[in-house]
Amino acid sequence: MENFVVSARKYRPAIFDSVVGQSAITATLKNAMRSNHLAQAFLFCGPRGVGKTTCARILAKTINCQNLTENIEACDGCDSCLSFNTGHSLNIFELDAASNNSVDDIRSLISQVSFAPQLGKYKVYIIDEVHMLSQAAFNAFLKTLEEPPKHAVFILATTEKHKIIPTILSRCQIFDFSRIQVKDIATHLEYIAKNEGIEAEPDALHIISQKADGALRDALSIFDQLVSFTGKTLTYQSVITNLNVLDYDYYFSITEDIRQHRIPKSLLIFNEILNKGFDGHNFIMGLAEHFRNLLVCKNSETIQLLEVSENVKTKYKEQAEGCTEALLLKGLELANKCDVQYKTSKNQRLLVELTLMQLCSLEATEINGEKKKSELKILPPEGRTITEPQISSPKKIYHEPKIHSERIPPEELKVQLAGENSENYQTKTRLKTKSISIHDVLNLNSGNSNGKEKNNNSGVDNKPGDSFTEDRLVEVWNSFANVCKKQGKESLFSILTKRNPKLCEKNIIEFTIENTVMETAFIASRADLLEYLFRELNNHHLEIVLIVNKEIGEKVAYTNREKFLQLSEKNPMLLKFKQQLDLEVE
């Protein structure tokens, strides 16, 4: 049986020009040799399988070559090159620091440095995984590394640069090797496949390149494994089957189901994926990456970031044309939320299915790109800002009331509390919150920016508008707060019941809160609250004016003295008790 040589060794680069994906580093080393500016200590660092040790060996071979080519490459014909190729060179020493990391190992290496080379100009010492050396070994190596003999060159290689002490780093020329691009790995695999007489589909080679995660050695190992599995024909289907990779077609189908609001079909596809043994977490991360790739295809400048084969890239371009950026961004948001919650979820399948249902239930106007923004322009007072409402669809306004906020002019904020300094009036903020009726939408779309003219076809006057008392308002308001409490929304219950709303005019409700945190929580629930009020009070013309007044908040007592004074205000007998017993508050 013929001895098999793995592709990583058989096709290991022998000259600088054959190194894959590290052209900047190889060009720098060749220029250093051309100008005779070769350093005596190098540090090659970077992730695994990117060519650190390979470049170290090529450098060691090239600097001792007796007949360099015009391109500064080894000739492979002189005595030095031949001895290196056969593994009998006396000028090159390799030390694995992972297993030889003691002080004695370094001292043994240093004892050999003083001897001049018998053949060639330099003795080259390659120390692999140098970060594994002990602290004492590093210290023993410092002096020799700083002042080596003229004939000695040290090449250190490591995957963990941060573990090397600064005194070693300062004595070396540092070269950072980068991960190899998917395209470069796929091209190299295609070259090897032709040499080995293997028919390989481009899509299959791209999947191998992506799986290797920038490491060419990993890609070659996967390539050998798949060739053993499939023989002389390497197809896309055989690769994804052997590597347990989810097919692109699943994600393309899921995205089409999302665009067409097909919840049942998307759930069936996800069930099929689970039945094939794939993990739900991997699926949701792959879906997020799919949305990212579609978003990249929306712009011709960013399409180069798509690391897939040409066939798959064409599919991405076609599907990206039918998806809006709003849909893709929302999809990324929901997929990322599911990814974060997946590990802590007790029912992980339900979490993914819920995410798919939410994606398929997105607004049709968002998916088809028909969402229209209001052209209403309001000029705010100087120094103030106004957030304009965004109207999705007139049919949805009644069920999902939107809000708009506006800053009240400074003269309306000049309201002083009893004993309040007039200079503090700017600390109050007033936010007006109201529901937008169908009448408002028709006015906006017709160009009526002041919103005062009524449209007889809007139908807003036909909505119920029964009158009610303030007591009835408080009763319904507290009823909604109790519903929130039963649903576990304790903070919202506390905000709504802290004080009663006031009925200022026929359809205007005024509610005062203490800070912006309560304001945010209130606004988040405003749609449900207005819907509840519309229904229970049988009045669809309501407006809520939300006033944020930080001055009315209760002062929190922190120290013992503050707590005692606060209690004594409610019960003056505590002061008398303290005085009679001659007590002190710590």
More confident residue, 146 or 382: 146
Centre a 10 Å sphere on the Cβ of residue 367 and count the other Cβ atoms it contains.
21
Instruction: Write the CA distances from 526 to 389, 474, 482, 517, 544, integer angstroms.
Output: 15, 16, 15, 14, 9
- Classify residue 86 as exposed, middle or buried by CB count within 10 Å of its CB (0-12, 13-18, 19+): exposed
Q: How confident is the model at residue 336 (pLDDT cuts 50, 70, 90)?
A: very high
Cα–Cα distance for residue pair 342/571, rounded to 1 Å: 53
Q: What is the pLDDT of residue 455?
A: 43
Alpha helices in 429-538 (DSSP H): 438-445, 470-486, 490-497, 516-524, 526-537
**pLDDT, mean of residues 291-313:** 83
**Coil/strand/helix, residue 394:** helix
Q: pLDDT at residue 152 above 60?
A: yes
Is residue 359 within 8 Å of residue 258, measured between CB atoms? yes
Record the tokens describing residue 516, joined without a space: 């912006």
Q: pLDDT at residue 319 above 80?
A: yes
Is residue 541 within 8 Å of residue 507, measured between CB atoms? yes
Q: pLDDT at residue 450 above 80?
A: no
Cα–Cα distance for residue pair 45/126, rounded to 1 Å: 13
**pLDDT, mean of residues 168-174:** 89
The fraction of the chain above a pLDDT of 90, given in percent, is 9
Q: What is the pLDDT of residue 555?
A: 58
Mean of all residue pLDDT scores within the chain: 78
Q: pLDDT at residue 20 above 80?
A: yes
Q: What is the pLDDT of residue 435?
A: 39
Centre a 10 Å sphere on the Cβ of residue 481 and count the other Cβ atoms it contains.
18
Length of the chain (residues): 586
- Taking the chain, what is the end-to-end CA distance rounded to the nearest angstrom? 91
Q: pLDDT at residue 445 above 80?
A: no
Q: What is the pLDDT of residue 462?
A: 67
Q: pLDDT at residue 6 above 80?
A: yes
The fraction of the chain above a pLDDT of 70, given in percent, is 81
Q: pLDDT at residue 383 above 80?
A: no
Which residue in 389, 357, 403 sits closest to 525, CA to CA? 403
Q: Which residues are registered as beta bridge partners of 95?
A: 127
Q: What is the pLDDT of residue 224?
A: 87
Is residue 65 within 8 Å of residue 27, measured between CB atoms? no
**pLDDT, mean of residues 391-418:** 37
Q: What is the pLDDT of residue 411?
A: 40
User: Which pTM value belongs to this model?
Assistant: 0.55
**pLDDT, mean of residues 271-295:** 89
In this predicted structure, which of 9-13, 218-222, 444-448 has the lowest mean pLDDT? Answer: 444-448
Record the tokens describing residue 135, joined without a space: 């602290």
Cα–Cα distance for residue pair 263/38, rounded to 1 Å: 65
Cα–Cα distance for residue pair 48/533, rounded to 1 Å: 64
Q: CB-based contacts of 136: which residues, under 8 Å, 6+ apart? A: 102, 103
Cα–Cα distance for residue pair 406/380, rounded to 1 Å: 8
In this predicted structure, which of 269-278, 550-559, 571-580 has the lowest mean pLDDT? Answer: 550-559
Q: What is the pLDDT of residue 557?
A: 63
Q: How confident is the model at residue 288 (pLDDT cuts 50, 70, 90)?
A: very high
Q: What is the pLDDT of residue 530?
A: 86
**pLDDT, mean of residues 345-374:** 72
Cα–Cα distance for residue pair 175/330, rounded to 1 Å: 41
More confident residue, 19 or 443: 19
Is residue 125 within 8 Å of residue 93, measured between CB atoms? yes
Q: pLDDT at residue 438 above 60?
A: no
Q: Which residues are registered as beta bridge partners of 545?
A: 432, 510
Q: How confident is the model at residue 207 (pLDDT cuts 50, 70, 90)?
A: confident
Is residue 355 within 8 Å of residue 334, measured between CB atoms? yes
β-strand pairing of 502-503 with 508-513:
antiparallel
Instruction: Write the CA distances from 209 to 18, 181, 224, integer angstroms.
Output: 18, 8, 13
**pLDDT, mean of residues 138-153:** 87
Cα–Cα distance for residue pair 152/145, rounded to 1 Å: 10
Residue 186: DSSP 8-state: H
Q: What is the pLDDT of residue 378?
A: 35
Q: What is the pLDDT of residue 449?
A: 39
The domains located in the chain, with CATH, are 7-176 (3.40.50.300), 182-243 (1.10.8.60), 248-367 (1.20.272.10), 395-552 (no CATH)
More confident residue, 486 or 417: 486
Q: What is the pLDDT of residue 198?
A: 87
Record the tokens describing residue 430, joined without a space: 């007033």
Q: What is the 3-state secondary structure (H, E, C) of 406-458?
A: CECCHHHHCCCCCCCCHHHHHHCEEEEEECCCHHHHHHHHCCCCCCCCCCCCC
Q: Name the amino acid, one letter, at 475.
A: E
Placement of tokens 């007039």 in the chain: 422
More confident residue, 309 or 30: 30
Q: Model confidence over 210-249: pLDDT tens digits? A: 888 888 888 888 888 888 888 788 888 888 888 878 888 8
